[in-house]
Amino acid sequence: MLFEEINTKNSAQQVMEGVIHLMEEEGFSAGEKIPSEKELMEYLEFGRSTIREALHALVAIGVLESRPGKGYFVRQYHRIPLYSNEFLSRIMDDDSFFDLMESRKIVERSIFMIAAERASEEDVERIESSLADLREALDEGRDNITNLTTDLHFAIANATDNQILVGLLEQLSPIIAEKIEGTNIPPQKDYEIHRELVEGIKSRDPKEAESAILEHLECMKKRYLDHLQEETDEGS
C-alpha cells in the first residue's frame, strides 16, 4: 500500500491523503486528469465505494472537478499543500456541511429560476426594500447583517409563490447559519454579492438568476473552508 493503515483515520480520509500525495508526487497541474477510479483502487488498495467517497469530498473542498463521463480533474492545485491531515480529518467529520450546501443548492437554484420568471412588481419592490435595508446597515457600520441577508433570501423565495420551496428554505437556513457561524466576510462584499442576486431576479432571465445564486453559494462554501483552515492552523 501507499501508506499503512492508521486506526484513528477513516478509510475515506486515507484515500483523500493518498490522492493528494499522488498528485504532489506526480506533479499534476490544474486541468490535468487524475487516474481513474479503477486505477486508484489498485494503487491505494481500497474499494470503489471508499474511493468514490474520497473523490466526492475532494470535489466538495475544491481540489478536484468532476466531469461526467470523463473523470476527475485537478481544479486548484495551488491549494493542496494547505490541507493538513488534521484539516482533512475535520472535513470528513463535518461532511454534513457539504450535504447541507448541496441541498440548499438544489432548493435555491429552483427558487431563483422560478422567482426570475414569476416575481410581480410588488415582489420586486419587497426584494429591493430588503436590499436597501442591507445598504442602510452597511452605511451605519453594522458588522453583523446576517439577519438582513436572510430576509432578502426569503423575499426572493416568497416571489416564487411556492410555499413548499419557502418551507424547505426555512428548514435549511438556520442549520446552515449555525454551521457557518464565525466565518468572516467584509460587509461591503456581502452587500455586493446580494446586490447581484437581486439583479439576477430583476433580469427576468432564469439563467442569469441561477448563475448569481450558484456563485453566491460557492462563495459561502469557500468562506467555510477558509474558516476551517484558520481554526486548524491556530490549533496546530
Q: Are 133 and 227 members of one domain?
A: yes
Question: Which of 6-15, 63-72, 98-107 bottoms out in mean pLDDT, i.e. has the lowest?
Answer: 6-15
Say how many domains are in the chain: 2
Q: Are 104 and 167 members of one domain?
A: yes
Asked, for residue 83, whether it belongs to a domain, the answer is yes
Boundary (domain end) residue, out of 93, 128, 162 = 93
Q: What is the pLDDT of residue 200?
A: 96
Asked, for residue 227, whether it belongs to a domain, the answer is yes
Q: Are 145 and 198 members of one domain?
A: yes
Asked, for residue 4, whether it belongs to a domain, the answer is no
Q: What is the pLDDT of residues 120-162, one digit of tens each?
A: 999 999 999 999 999 999 899 887 777 889 899 999 999 999 9
Average pLDDT for 69-78: 76
Q: What is the pLDDT of residue 9?
A: 47
DSSP string, the chain: --S---TTS-HHHHHHHHHHHHHHHHT--TTPBPPPHHHHHHHHT--HHHHHHHHHHHHHTTSEEEETTTEEEES-GGGGGG--HHHHHHHHHTTHHHHHHHHHHHHHHHHHHHHHHH--HHHHHHHHHHHHHHHHHHHTT-S--HHHHHHHHHHHHHTTT-HHHHHHHHHHHHHHHHHTTT----HHHHHHHHHHHHHHHHTT-HHHHHHHHHHHHHHHHHHHHHHHHHHHHHH-
Most confident of 31-35, 80-84, 92-96, 175-179: 31-35
Instruction: Name the percent of the chain lying above pLDDT 90.
Output: 38
Q: What is the CATH number of the domain that holds 18?
A: 1.10.10.10
Q: What is the pLDDT of residue 92?
A: 56
Asked, for residue 5, whether it belongs to a domain, the answer is no
More confident residue, 144 or 115: 115
More confident residue, 86 or 26: 26
Q: What is the pLDDT of residues 214-235, one digit of tens each?
A: 999 888 887 877 776 676 666 5
Prediction pTM value = 0.64
Q: Which domain holds residue 25?
A: 11-93
Q: What is the pLDDT of residues 91-101, one digit of tens each?
A: 555 666 777 78
Q: Are 118 and 61 members of one domain?
A: no
Q: What is the pLDDT of residues 169-211, one digit of tens each?
A: 988 887 777 777 666 677 888 899 999 999 999 999 999 999 9
Q: Flag whether pLDDT at 8 surpasses 50.
A: no
Q: Are 48 and 107 members of one domain?
A: no
